[in-house]
Amino acid sequence: MKYPIILLIFFLFGCSSKHYEITQTKIITLKTKEFKYSDLGYIRSSANDVELELFSAGKSLFKVEIGNFICTSQGCVRKKIFNEKYFTSHYPDDLLQNVILGKPILNAKNIKYLNDGFSQKIETENVNIDYIVGNRGIFFKDKKNAILIKIRDN
């Protein structure tokens, strides 16, 4: 009897609202096979969590919270399941969070440091990624999986 109660508490508080230390307004472009968006958005972050909220015509369209799980209005799921549904199963669990925060991906594979940031070009049987982080923003494109993420100042 006590295990279901512990699980219930975990799920109720696992996706509870968090206090974010940094809030940034950005122009965000997301294109996948399932989803296309380009407009204003907010990126809120703290030491271990990040939230991406997308707006259209001043109304909140989509919000995703990334911590131990990825939470949307449909509920919370493991990062692996979220990647399988919205991106590709070939991405590591932390890829989306690292891209949103402008951090290296895939253990900094093929990283080249630039004057204002870094770039990574990763090509395998399952992905063909160009990823650039610099003063002009964040650019992530996977040609094999038709995924584009661009984040820049407004």
How does pLDDT run across 48-66, given as a tens digit for each residue?
899 999 888 778 888 999 9
Burial 33-58 (b: 16+ CB within 10 A, else e): eeeeeeeebbbbbeeebbbbbbbeee
The CA-atom distances, in angstroms, between 112 and each of 6, 76, 101, 108, 133 are 46, 35, 18, 9, 11
pTM of the model: 0.84
Give the confidence band of 18 by pLDDT, cuts at 50, 70, 90: low
Cβ burial of 90 (10 Å; 0-12, 13-18, 19+) is: middle
Average pLDDT of the segment spanning 126-147? 97
Instruction: Give the least confident one: 9-23, 36-50, 87-101.
Output: 9-23
Give the Cα-Cα-Cα angle 36, 25, 22 (nearest 5 degrees).
Answer: 120
pLDDT averaged over every residue in the chain: 87
CATH of residue 118: 2.50.20.10
Q: State the residue range of the domain holding 41.
A: 2-153
Kindly report the number of other CB atoms within 10 A of residue 142's CB atom: 22
Name the domain count of the chain.
Answer: 1
Average pLDDT of the segment spanning 68-85? 92
